Structure 1
Amino acid sequence: MTQNPLTPSDSESLLLDLETQRCEAMKRADFARLREILHPGLTHVHAKGQTDDYESYFRAGGTHVDYRQIDRSELKVQVLGSTALMTGRQLLVAVRKDGSGTVRIDSRVMQVWVQEDGQWRQLAFQTTPLEMSITQET
């Protein structure tokens, strides 16, 4: 039995759902789900320019901040065969676990997703801050 490939619009819907799942997993610190969504070849560029690969992302990810809000908007997806480009806005609010403050970053984000063995995974993430603030806790 031949499986019908997803149409571009089916893939767009699936990718938007996966992005929602990624953001929810970050807020829940659900690293098992994030490992399923993120590609082992991941390159993740943070707002201050530091870069993580898959392993370093999980060594550092979630250990320094408690994600309170991750809102995505203006999302656009371009599916190009087994690769997709996702762009849009992201508003992220996180509390530093050391109690030193709250971080708020409003940014533009570009993500690259790849489909392997019928599964879409995020291969690259780059955020460019439009506005960033850190509120110091006293």
Structure 2
Amino acid sequence: MQNFTDHKRASKHLYRNGRHFGAFIVAILIAGLLMPAHGQGTQQSAIMAAETARLDAQVARDTKTVASLLAPTATYIHANGSVQAKDEFLADLEAGKIRHRDVSLTDRVVELRGDVGITHGKIDLTVGADRRISGRYTGVYAQEGGTWKLLSWQTTPIQPGTPEPAGISR
């Protein structure tokens, strides 16, 4: 660190090096604007955790855990276009009619809109004996009693040869 004995030399040094300091301040301000609001990152993490727990429970056919993570009016829209309410989905899961052997989510994004969380990304799953499905998914969550519960889930299959989207993540 330089020792300035007179005010003029100190002023010249700050002016010359102040450009770097100014750029630093601007970078800090921009970073602050891009960061989520306080607590928002925690809520996004909680939604992702609920989503992961639900899918893990579906693979394990743990209908009690799945039921606890679904809202009473939850709707499943499957990759084949069929639609199920919560009770029908749980009954089919328990009976083995729905058999997820493996589920993997990538490109995950969580957006918060008030008390609603919206997730989307890519899903790869194995159903039944060996049927592989790759698709895009959207999940809608609402907080009930301190727990994020699924309101709606939709999987859309990705057709072979479909190019990867660019720039949709937020």
Please indicate, yes or no, whether the TM-score normalized by the shorter chain is above 0.5.
Answer: yes
Whichever structure has more strand as a proportion of its residues is 1
Equivalence map 1:96-115=2 (5 Å): 96=129, 102-115=130-143
Moved more, 79-88 or 59-68: 59-68
Q: Work out the percentage of aligned pairs sharing the same amino acid.
A: 25
Please, what TM-score do these two structures have when normalized by structure 1? 0.82
Quick one: which of 71, 95, 112 aligns to 1:39?
Answer: 71
| 1:28-64 Cα deviation digits (max 9, x unpaired) | 1100000011111101100111100111111222522
- Structure 1 match to 2:86: 54
After superposition, the Cα gap between the structure-2 partners of 1:18 and 1:52, relative to the gap in structure 1 and judged at 3 Å, is same
Counterparts of 1:116 and 1:67 in 2: how far apart (Å)? Answer: 26
Q: Which has the higher contact order (CA 8 A, sep 6+)?
A: 1
Matched, 1:29 2:57: no
- When the two chains are superposed, the root-mean-square deviation of aligned CA atoms in Å is 1.6
Structure 2: tracts of 5 or more residues without a match: 1-37, 161-170
Q: 1:38·1:122 contact (CA, 8 Å) conserved in 2?
A: yes
SS of corresponding position for 1:61: helix
Larger Rg: 2
Q: 2:58·2:100 contact (CA, 8 Å) conserved in 1?
A: yes
Counterparts of 2:106 and 2:159 in 1: how far apart (Å)? Answer: 15
SS of corresponding position for 1:26: helix
Q: 1:105·1:131 contact (CA, 8 Å) conserved in 2?
A: no
Aligned length: 122
Counterparts of 2:140 and 2:113 in 1: how far apart (Å)? Answer: 11
Q: 2:59·2:99 contact (CA, 8 Å) conserved in 1?
A: yes
Matched, 1:15 2:43: no
Quick one: which of 104, 118, 126 aligns to 2:146?
Answer: 118
SS of corresponding position for 1:17: helix
Quick one: which of 75, 95, 98 aligns to 2:128?
Answer: 95
Please, what TM-score do these two structures have when normalized by structure 2? 0.67
Q: 2:100·2:126 contact (CA, 8 Å) conserved in 1?
A: yes
Give the letter for the 1:37 counterpart: L
Counterparts of 1:87 and 1:54 in 2: how far apart (Å)? Answer: 20
Counterparts of 2:153 and 2:98 in 1: how far apart (Å)? Answer: 18
Whichever structure has more helix as a proportion of its residues is 2
List structure 1 segments (4+ residues) > 6 angstroms apart after TM superposition: none
